[in-house]
Chain A
């Protein structure tokens, strides 16, 4: 199930956290075609997960000037940059073939672990800068008073991943020797998500 580990390295001012997403019992991740919207599942490992998240993480890293806990391995190992939909055959990047549950989970997690802590820091800085009374000491200067008051920011609830649905049928792809899961009751031909060959279900 879901686990998070957030640590704060004070010296480098870098935040690191770990994301673990719930897969089904066979280690399949639920996906959704960006074209036809139908769900399917593929097997993923930790590096796949890191690869899937890297575009989002890079955006966050650049925006907030922080390092998110990406691993070195994901840069060394080549990952497929395309994934096909088994139903309509449409090809897209694996990052675009994610279902809304996964996207919501990541967004909520990043909101909690990255965005809100930065908001809180910002609020503390504001309070430190303007949250005190200032007076001019010399005659002839305008005297201003600032005050700052805000409720402390409460972090949003950590999202919960899973339980993954034990649905769909496992299909062995004889073309690529891989397995995927597709909707039960799908009677038509399918396309291999990896080599895009049209296949007959038997």
Chain B
């Protein structure tokens, strides 16, 4: 089976529907013309011909046998109700297609069809042919093509459409990780996990350009952030150093409001919460995974395409 692109499949289906509907619904005087166009299309279109050939290849039908049946039915005056088709679905489809192909090759067959079903004028014969032979074929083929197209064109990736006010700019979605040097191994693990999830954590070590002033870099780090995370461990005893970063965080909180979170992760109940942070939400975490979970929950941004949480911008 030839693999076709999604565009090719869609183009084939569009053309199929257009030609099918022309054959079934356009002025009956032009029926032969439209039938020829659609039959030629069915045989040559790369997508449609695959489905058609699947039916034709497994079928063993004798078209002369069909005309014979029609004649016998006419002799018994069963009229249109006596038009016979094989019971097997593929055989029936193949038979209908071969009859249409024969009509295209020899238009006098339409007269034969009309006479055999008791319709002696060409125009009503064509109308009956469209209803009795062509339409059931096209309906079944439409169904099969729809299924084949569904298989050939798996669902494309989905997009999200986000309101403007929920889209932060690039320079306000970092997550500032405030820590003591002794806790660097712990904070690096958080850093890696956050990066892997798609966030942009700010850590002094990789994010501070060489030779840049420490205080200025840290301040810029806060400016670019939507959250400051404080890791309170047994190592976090230097209140003075902490106070500077807490002050920066509080300033950002006042400036940005709901779009900035101060997140304090306390790794043991035995550790005292620094006084400046007590007024902000903090969590005593049991282990690092628990800490990561609480951190993500407290962020004002969410995963996927980066956006403000709805509650942040709607309140």
Contact = CB atoms under 8 A, between A and B. Distances in A.
A81 interface: no
Q: Categorize the interface residue count of chain B.
A: 35 or more
Contact of A154 (B25, B128, B142, B306): B128
A156 B130 CA distance: 9
A169 B25 contact: no
A106 interface: no
A166 B153 contact: yes
Interface in A136-192: 151-152, 154-160, 162-167, 169-175, 179, 184, 190, 192
Interface of A: 1-2, 22, 25-26, 101, 104, 108, 151-152, 154-160, 162-167, 169-175, 179, 184, 190, 192, 197-202
Nearest to B14: A165
A111 B121 CA distance: 23
A173 B139 CA distance: 35
A166 B156 CA distance: 9
29 contacts: A1-B143, A2-B139, A104-B21, A152-B124, A156-B25, A156-B127, A157-B24, A157-B134, A159-B21, A159-B24, A160-B20, A160-B138, A160-B139, A163-B145, A163-B149, A164-B146, A165-B14, A169-B158, A170-B156, A170-B158, A171-B159, A171-B161, A172-B158, A174-B160, A174-B310, A197-B163, A200-B163, A201-B161, A202-B306
Contacts of B307: 174, 202
Interface string B1-29: 00000100110011001001100110000
Contact of A157 (B131, B146, B166): B131
A15 to B, nearest CB: 19
B113 to A, nearest CB: 14
Contacts of A169: 156-159
Nearest to A177: B310
Contact of B162 (A25, A158, A159, A200): A200
Interface of B: 6, 9-10, 13-14, 17, 20-21, 24-25, 121, 124, 127-128, 130-131, 134-135, 138-139, 142-143, 145-146, 149-150, 153, 155-164, 166-167, 305-307, 310
B159 A160 contact: no
Contacts, number: 120
A163 B161 CA distance: 28
A191 B135 CA distance: 40
A192 B160 CA distance: 12
A26 B13 contact: no
Nearest to A182: B159
Contacts of B150: 25, 166
Residue of A22, A156, A179 with most partner-chain B CB within 10 A: A156
A22 B17 CA distance: 13
Contacts of A174: 160-163, 166, 307, 310
A167 B149 CA distance: 10
